[in-house]
Amino acid sequence: MTVKATDGGSPPLSHTADFTVVVTAPEGPKLLGAFLPNGQFQLTLNGEIGRIYLIQVSADLTVWEPVTNILSTAATIQITDSAAASARQRFYQAVSP
């Protein structure tokens, strides 16, 4: 990127400077899951401390329903979904408002 600044003097003075701008996407939360021996499903959320996360579930990736919302007090949080044992299939996502 090149920036040129010019003053309003007579004659006008100016200066040009070149900058390199790098834009990177922030790393989002990671949601991992594992089945427990009792049929429940345990989610592990790796996210940012102090951030609120809404954990959502869907049977068809179209309609999403909340499982829980949680304030992250640690980099890794575990959430157990006891309703998973009775579901044929479930998809999960973590959303941070």
Q: What is the pLDDT of residues 49-62, one digit of tens each?
A: 888 899 999 999 99
Map tokens 């003097």 to a residue. 9
In this structure, is residue 73 part of a structural domain?
Answer: yes
Q: Is 19 within the bounds of a domain? A: no
- Domains: count for the chain: 1
Q: Give the whole-angstrom CA distance, residue 45 versus residue 54.
A: 11
12 domain-assigned: no
CATH number of residue 34's parent domain:
2.60.40
Which of 90, 55, 88 has its CA nearest to residue 69?
55
Q: Would residue 13 count as lying in a domain? A: no
Q: What tens digit of pLDDT does each residue of 74-95 get?
A: 888 898 888 888 888 889 999 8
Lay out the sheet containing 65-71: strands in order across.
65-71, 52-58, 91-95
Return all residues near 37 (Cβ < 8 A) that are at least 6 apart.
none
- Give the pLDDT score at 65: 92
Q: What is the residue range of 46's domain?
A: 25-95
Is residue 71 in a domain? yes
Please indicate, yes or no, if residue 59 is contained in any of the structural domains.
Answer: yes
Is 10 domain-assigned?
A: no
